[in-house]
Amino acid sequence: MLYFLIGYMGSGKTSLAKRVSKRSGLPWIDTDKEIEKQEGRTVAEIFIEKGEKHFRNLESQFIQSLDASDSLIVATGGGLPCFNNNIELINELGKTFYLQLSAAKLTERLLESSSERPLLANKTAKEIKDFIEQSLNEREPHYLRSHHVLNANIPFDRLTEEVVKLF
């Protein structure tokens, strides 16, 4: 079974994947890291050199290459479920878990790490806040199609246990 952790940038998908992997013994991957390995450059470089649309196509190709019979935890890039009908595909490939957080909470977290993220780089704090509010509104209908919606604003250990219970 494939287990997909989805949600906005900064919702903790990668950290949770690592923790759930330890707890369950299943291996984990991160789609951004896999695409970076495959392309030999960072996500930020792909955005700059080839554009967002190209990156979205790489994300779709990547999930199409997954084997549904593998046992694997997959932390996806924040935008992956929201383009090219990818949410439908990952819902078919395995179980999906949405780590839900409010725009305010995400803004708080992302203000600290915006420079590593191409969609937030070179924006002021106010622009980041507005961008998160608007794009979360657009994205949430896709995220909400996942099999499980989890409140991610709880202690990390509890969130880990909740996910493992649902495996």
Phi–psi pair at 113, nearest 5 degrees: -130, 30
Q: Minimum CB separation from ligand S3P for residue 69, in Å?
A: 26
Q: What DSSP string describes the chain? A: -EEEEE-STTS-HHHHHHHHHHHH---EEEHHHHHHHHHTS-HHHHHHHH-HHHHHHHHHHHHHT--TTS-EEEEPPTTGGGSTTHHHHHHHHEEEEEEE--HHHHHHHHTTSGGG-TTTTT--HHHHHHHHHHHHHHHHHHHTTSSEEEE-SS-HHHHHHHHHHH-
Q: Minimum CB separation from ligand S3P for residue 76, in Å?
A: 8
Q: Indicate the residue among 32 and 34 with the shorter CB distance to ligand S3P.
A: 32
List the interface residues with ligand S3P, window 84-123 (CB under 6 A): 117-119
Q: Indicate the residue among 48 and 68 with the shorter CB distance to ligand S3P.
A: 48
Q: Indicate the residue among 25 and 160 with the shorter CB distance to ligand S3P.
A: 160
Q: Which stretch binds ligand S3P (CB under 6 A): 19-27, 73-81, 91-99, 153-161?
A: 73-81
Q: Indicate the residue among 95 and 117 with the shorter CB distance to ligand S3P.
A: 117
List the interface residues with ligand S3P, window 20-59 (CB under 6 A): 32, 43
Per CB under 6 A, does 79 bind ligand S3P?
yes
- Considering only 78, 81, 103, 142, the residue that binds ligand S3P (CB under 6 A) is 78
**Which residue ranges make up the site for ligand S3P (CB under 6 A)?**
9, 32, 43, 77-79, 117-119
